[in-house]
């Protein structure tokens, strides 16, 4: 007779201090990790219950995969995917790496919500080339009010120069003594725009992929900004 022993590791912290912790109503054995205190099963019937599935879904969300594409590939229901998207975005905290920056580039990209042109949304965001991080962003129409909301988020930082294109809303809000205008000053953020369109199909210029809810739309971009700044989720 051959006896096979299986080592059960925690799927969350990958620890080996795992003990049995009762039986579920389905009759499956439940385990408890002594290291992180989380409970789990060795195998789950539903894909949405697997810890590995959540990590895969989050990686696909920042790699230009649509909600329904993720559902087809992973087997996780799209409502569960949207729930993970919003929950993870709410947990993301952005902190500038520095308190002073030599220059910050500001630009805008447009997109739609609910496939309607009257629901066109503009994303204004500030990018620091010296640290390769997105410092702040603001959603709205293409007016000085949206730019002003973005500028309020940057007032606590010491910024020597703001670099933008010649859109009039920038000159109405930004301090003129710190404002440099011209495409020559925004070449770094133009590259970021290309990267964002590659990572999120919602802001591709010609696309049929739109969010039905603004909250899902905004959180998808927030997740990509966080991933770009910190390279983790």
Complete edge-to-edge strand list for the sheet that includes strand 39-41: 18-23, 29-33, 39-41
Q: How confident is the model at residue 200 (pLDDT cuts 50, 70, 90)?
A: confident
Q: What is the pLDDT of residues 6-57, one digit of tens each?
A: 788 888 888 888 898 888 887 888 899 999 998 888 777 777 777 788 889 9
What distance in Å separates the CA atoms of residue 225 and residue 94, rounded to the nearest whole number?
9
For residue 161, what pLDDT is reported?
Answer: 96
Length reported for the chain: 233
Please enumerate in sequence order all residues whose Cβ is within 8 A of that of 48, keeping only pairs 6 or more positions apart, or say none. Answer: 76, 77, 80
Q: What is the pLDDT of residues 95-107, one digit of tens each?
A: 999 999 999 999 9
**Distances, alpha carbon 108 to alpha carbons 14, 84, 126, 165, 185, in Å:** 42, 27, 9, 10, 14
Question: Is 4 or 202 the better-scoring residue by pLDDT?
Answer: 202
Q: What is the pLDDT of residues 133-169, one digit of tens each?
A: 999 999 999 999 999 999 999 999 999 999 999 999 9
């Amino acid at each position: 007779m051959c006896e096979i022993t299986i080592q059960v590791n925690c799927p969350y912290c990958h620890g080996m201090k795992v003990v049995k912790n009762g039986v579920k109503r389905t009759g499956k054995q439940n385990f408890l990790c002594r290291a992180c205190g989380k409970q789990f099963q060795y195998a789950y019937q539903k894909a949405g219950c697997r810890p590995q599935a959540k990590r895969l879904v989050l990686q696909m969300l920042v790699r230009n995969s649509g909600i329904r594409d993720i559902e087809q590939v992973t087997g996780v229901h799209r409502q569960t995917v949207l729930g993970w998207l919003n929950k993870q975005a709410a947990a993301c905290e952005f902190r500038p790496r520095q308190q002073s920056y030599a220059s910050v580039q500001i630009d805008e990209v447009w997109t739609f919500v609910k496939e309607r042109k009257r629901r066109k949304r503009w994303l204004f965001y500030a990018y620091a080339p010296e640290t390769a991080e997105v410092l702040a962003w603001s959603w709205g129409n293409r007016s000085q009010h949206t730019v002003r909301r973005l500028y309020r988020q940057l007032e606590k930082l010491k910024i020597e120069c703001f670099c933008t294109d010649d859109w009039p809303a920038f000159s109405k809000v930004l301090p003129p003594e710190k404002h440099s205008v011209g495409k020559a000053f925004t070449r770094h953020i133009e590259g970021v725009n290309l990267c964002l369109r590659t990572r999120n199909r919602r802001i591709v210029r010609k696309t049929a992929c739109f969010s039905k809810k603004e909250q899902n739309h905004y959180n998808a971009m927030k997740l990509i900004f966080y991933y770009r700044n910190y390279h983790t989720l």
